[in-house]
């Protein structure tokens, strides 16, 4: 049996080695390492895949979020609502820009931002909602877009874990994660669902003005070289990463299907076990399973992790500490107990190996090991 890994990027590479190697070699031969034609080609292919009108490639997903917020004309102290159960980047860029992160609780089943909590958190200073499509399933975008419209707010989707997820609105219209809000952000970190072999990210928008402005911000704040209209940043996807992503993009739907197949296997194996809740599903969103995350009930998580490790099965806790409990984000507005669902999730979630190359033999072994260890 193959070695167990949270993500098996090597087998995935071997399956498309020729395309990847050729793409990298073409960039080296062209020496167009920055802003080469591969970057534009990938951008166009990704626009076709996602349906986004504009895609701006940037250096990583965190930059994507930062540039998105920089483009919205916000003032220091403006409030940005984000879930407290997520990766730190979502709140980090808010804090870095002198904006005020307002964290809210999440839903127990989907682990995504709670729309009731968003409604309660809105003040006259609220300007932006940043929903995170956690673990690969879209937040309740029907309600979030409605709230944004009622209160004249921007929506910046953190789709770093959800590229390719499809959201179907109550009116029957379907859109991809990242193309629903005013701006969407994604990451091409190697382990993400569409990962490169280094750092990379992208910003999606259907708004022409925002697209122009974000393109300029990502390029030192200039529309015309050496004419700087904004304080910008330097954030770009390099050509080698673009070539790798362009070779992988045609396989993304197969990769998603492989993850969904593995998730269905896990779901079935753990159904009805009193100690395990499998990921709750939102019927309006497909789930692309960036992570397959269990909620453990009355289980010693450390002990389970250790027993799995004895059998060479890795497992991870995403995320052990909610944002409002992080040292760097201590804030007199928040204390332990304020966000009970996020706090409970932080203490009971466990993510199992989830990637595009899991086979039935491995899945059998993993599920048997989990059930035996409970």
Ligand X SMILES: *Cc1c(COP(=O)(O)O)cnc(C)c1O
Q: Rule CB under 6 A: is residue 289 a binding residue for ligand X? A: no
Q: Identify which range of 57-65, 111-119, 144-152, 301-309 contacts ligand X by CB under 6 A.
A: 57-65
- Please give the residues from 183 up to 222 whose contact with ligand X meets the rule CB under 6 A: 187, 189, 199, 201
| Identified binder of ligand X from the candidate list 139, 160, 194, 354, rule CB under 6 A | 160
- Give min distance, CB of 360 to ligand X, in A: 28
Phi/psi of residue 176, nearest 5 degrees = -85, 150
The only residue of 126, 161, 179, 205 in contact with ligand X, by rule CB under 6 A = 161
Distances (CA, A) of 39 to 58, 105, 202, 245, 372: 10, 38, 11, 9, 48
Among 46, 132, 183, 369, binds ligand X (CB under 6 A): 132
| Residue whose CB is nearest to ligand X in the complex, by number | 61
Contact 144, 131 (CB under 8 A): yes
Return the residues of window 71-130 that contact ligand X according to CB under 6 A. 86-87, 89-90
Q: Is 242 among the residues that bind ligand X (CB under 6 A)?
A: no
Query: Contacts for 205-208 with beta carbons within 8 Å, 24 or more apart?
Result: 205/52, 205/53, 205/54, 205/56, 206/52, 206/53, 206/54, 206/179, 207/53, 207/54, 207/182, 207/183, 208/53, 208/54
Q: Which span (44-52, 54-62, 116-124, 258-266) binds ligand X, by CB under 6 A?
A: 54-62
Is there binding between residue 57 and ligand X (CB under 6 A)? no
Residues near 183 by Cβ (< 8 Å), separated by ≥ 6? Answer: 68, 71, 154, 155, 156, 157, 203, 204, 205, 207, 210, 214
Q: Is 157 in the site for ligand X (CB under 6 A)?
A: no
Residues making contact with ligand X (CB under 6 A): 60-62, 86-87, 89-90, 132, 158, 160-161, 187, 189, 199, 201
């Amino acid at each position: 049996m193959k070695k167990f890994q949270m993500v098996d990027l090597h087998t995935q590479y071997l399956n498309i080695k020729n395309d990847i190697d050729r793409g990298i070699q073409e960039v080296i031969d062209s020496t167009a390492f920055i802003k080469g034609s591969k970057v534009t080609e990938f951008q166009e292919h990704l626009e076709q895949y996602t349906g986004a009108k504009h895609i701006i490639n940037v250096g990583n997903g965190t930059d994507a979020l930062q540039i998105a917020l920089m483009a919205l004309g916000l003032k220091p102290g403006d409030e940005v609502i984000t879930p407290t159960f997520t990766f730190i980047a979502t709140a980090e860029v808010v804090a870095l820009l002198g904006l005020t992160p307002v964290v809210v609780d999440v839903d127990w089943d989907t682990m995504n931002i709670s729309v009731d909590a968003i409604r309660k958190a809105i003040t006259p200073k609220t300007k932006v909602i940043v929903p995170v499509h956690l673990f690969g399933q879209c937040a309740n975008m029907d309600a979030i877009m409605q709230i944004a419209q009622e209160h004249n707010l921007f929506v910046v989707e953190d789709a770093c874990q959800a590229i390719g997820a499809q959201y179907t609105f109550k009116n029957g219209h379907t859109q991809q994660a990242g193309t629903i809000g005013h701006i969407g952000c994604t990451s091409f970190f190697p382990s993400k669902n569409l990962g490169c072999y280094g750092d990379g990210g992208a910003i999606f928008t259907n708004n022409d003005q925002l697209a122009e402005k974000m393109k300029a911000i990502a390029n030192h704040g200039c529309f015309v070289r050496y004419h700087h209209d904004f304080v910008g940043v330097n954030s770009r996807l390099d050509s080698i990463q673009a070539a790798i992503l362009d070779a992988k993009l045609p396989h993304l739907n197969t990769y998603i299907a492989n993850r969904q197949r593995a998730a269905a296997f896990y779901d079935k194996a753990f159904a009805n076990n009193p100690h395990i809740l499998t990921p709750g599903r939102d019927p309006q969103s497909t789930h692309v399973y960036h992570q397959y995350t269990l909620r453990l009930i009355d289980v010693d998580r450390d002990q389970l992790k250790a027993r799995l490790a004895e059998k060479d099965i890795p497992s991870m806790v995403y995320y052990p500490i909610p944002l409002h409990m992080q040292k760097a984000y201590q804030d007199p507005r928040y204390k332990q107990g304020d966000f009970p669902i996020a706090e409970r999730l932080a203490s009971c979630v466990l993510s199992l190996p989830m990637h595009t190359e899991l086979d039935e033999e491995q899945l059998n072994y993993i599920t048997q090991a989990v059930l035996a260890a409970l």
